[in-house]
Amino acid sequence: MDDQPRLMHSSHGVGMAGHPGLAQHMQDGTGGDADGRKQDIGDILQQIMTITDQSLDEAQARYKGGGSAAAAAAAAAAGGAGADNSAEHSDYRAKLSQIRQIYHTELEKYEQACNEFTTHVMNLLREQSRTRPISPKEIERMVNIIHRKFSSIQMQLKQSTCEAVMILRSRFLDARRKRRNFNKQATEILNEYFYSHLSNPYPSEEAKEELAKKCSITVSQVSNWFGNKRIRYKKNIGKFQEEANMYAAKTAATATSVSTHGSQANSPSTPNSAGSAGSFNMNSGDLFMSVQSLNGDSYQGAQVGANVQSQVDTLRHVISQTGGYSESLAASQIYSPQGINANGGWQDAPTPSSVTSPTEGPGSVHSDTSN
C-alpha cells in the first residue's frame, strides 16, 4: 500500500504543448488571406499526433491476430528470419514517412502561400501607390515581414514534426510498452543453448552475439532472456524438467542424426521432440529428478538413480560416439543439472569466455556415480 516509485511510462505528451498563437501570427499581417485554410498548423499537429497515436493501436491490433494478413504478408515479403522484427520496422518506417510526407506537403503549401501572399501584398501596395507615395524601402520591409512570419511558421511546423517523430520513435523503441514474445524458432535456439550449457548457462559476449544473430534479436535481449531463464529455472526447476528433458532429447536426437550411425536401435531416435520426449519422459520424468537429487538434495531412490543413470549413459554413449562434430553444436553435453549447487546459483565459470570445453573423451564423461 505504499506509494511506489512510479516514473517511467507517465509521459505521453512529450512536450507538444505547442503551436502558441500561430493563428495570430498568420493573421496579423494579412487580414484577408487568399488561402483561407492555412492558419491551422494546429490541425496539422493534430493530424500528426493522430498518426502517432494510431501507430500504437495499430501495432497492438496487428498482433492480436485479426488483421494479421497484412503483417504476415509484410513478414513474408521481408523474408523468413527477421520477419517479425522487420514487419515492425516497416510499420515504423511507414509511419515515419507518413509524417515526413505531411511535413513536406505542408511545407510546400506554406511556401506557395507565402509567395502568393507576397505578390498579393505587392499588388495591393502597387495599387495604393497611386494614391499615396510608397517608398521601395517600405515594400521591402513589408516583404521581409511576410517572409519572417512565414518562416517562423515553417519553423514551428518543423519543430512539431520533429516532436512527432520523436514520439513515434520512443513508442516504437520502448519495447516494454509493446512487448512481444520471441518467435518459436528463436525460443528454441535459446533454449537449446541454455539446456546444453545448463552447467554454466552464461554465454560469452561472442556467444550472445551469435545467438542474437541467429534469433534476430539484440544482444541485450539475449542477455535478458538468459537472465530471466536462469532465475526462473533456478526458482522452480521442477517446472522446467519437461522442457529440459525435451531439449536434452532433442540434442541427443540431433547428435544421432548427425552421426548417421544407426546401429544402436534403442536410443530415442525420433527426431521430432514430442513423441520421443513423451515416451522418454514417461519412463524417466521423475528419474531425472533423482539424478538431480544425487547431486545436491535429499536423495531418495538409489536404484532409480542407477536406473536412469543407465539411460543417461546410453544417451551419452550415443552422443560421444558422434564426438566429431564440433561446429555450431559445440560441446553438446547431455542435460546435466549438476551445475547448480544446493544453495542455488551455478558454480560460476572461471572466466566467462574460456568455458567452451567439456570435450572430454568418450570415456571420461563426468560420471557422478558416486559409488
Partner DNA sequence: GGTGATGATTTACG
Partner DNA sequence: CGTAAATCATCACC
Do 339 and 347 contact (CB within 8 A), yes or no?
yes
Q: Which is nearer to DNA, 220 or 367 (CB)?
A: 220
Whole-number minimum distance, CB 187 to DNA, in Å?
Answer: 5
Whole-number minimum distance, CB 178 to DNA, in Å?
Answer: 5
**Residues paired with 340 in a beta bridge:** 346
Do 161 and 103 contact (CB within 8 A), yes or no?
yes
Whole-number minimum distance, CB 59 to DNA, in Å?
Answer: 7
Cell of 188: 528454441
Q: Which is nearer to DNA, 154 or 338 (CB)?
A: 338
CA 72 to chain centre: 17
DSSP-derived letter for residue 62 is H
Q: Which is nearer to DNA, 46 or 60 (CB)?
A: 60
Q: Which is nearer to DNA, 123 or 224 (CB)?
A: 224
Q: What are phi and psi of 349, to 5 degrees?
A: -85, 145
Q: Which is nearer to DNA, 87 or 217 (CB)?
A: 217
Whole-number minimum distance, CB 295 to DNA, in Å?
Answer: 18
Q: Which is nearer to DNA, 36 or 66 (CB)?
A: 66
Task: Give how far Cα 122 sits from Cα of 125, 126, 143, 154, Å.
Answer: 5, 6, 8, 22
Cell of 234: 533456478
Whole-number minimum distance, CB 345 to DNA, in Å?
Answer: 6
**Whole-angstrom distance, CA of residue 106 vs CA of residue 286:** 69
Whole-number minimum distance, CB 324 to DNA, in Å?
Answer: 29
Task: Return the ∠ at Cα 262 (arms to 256 and 266), rounded to 5°.
Answer: 80
Of residues 110, 190, 112, 183, the one with CA closest to residue 151: 110
The site for DNA (CB under 7 A) is made up of: 4-6, 8-9, 60, 63-64, 174-182, 187, 202, 205, 217, 220-221, 223-228, 230-232, 234, 239, 344-346, 352
Whole-number minimum distance, CB 188 to DNA, in Å?
Answer: 11
Q: Which is nearer to DNA, 43 or 348 (CB)?
A: 348
Do 182 and 211 contact (CB within 8 A), yes or no?
no
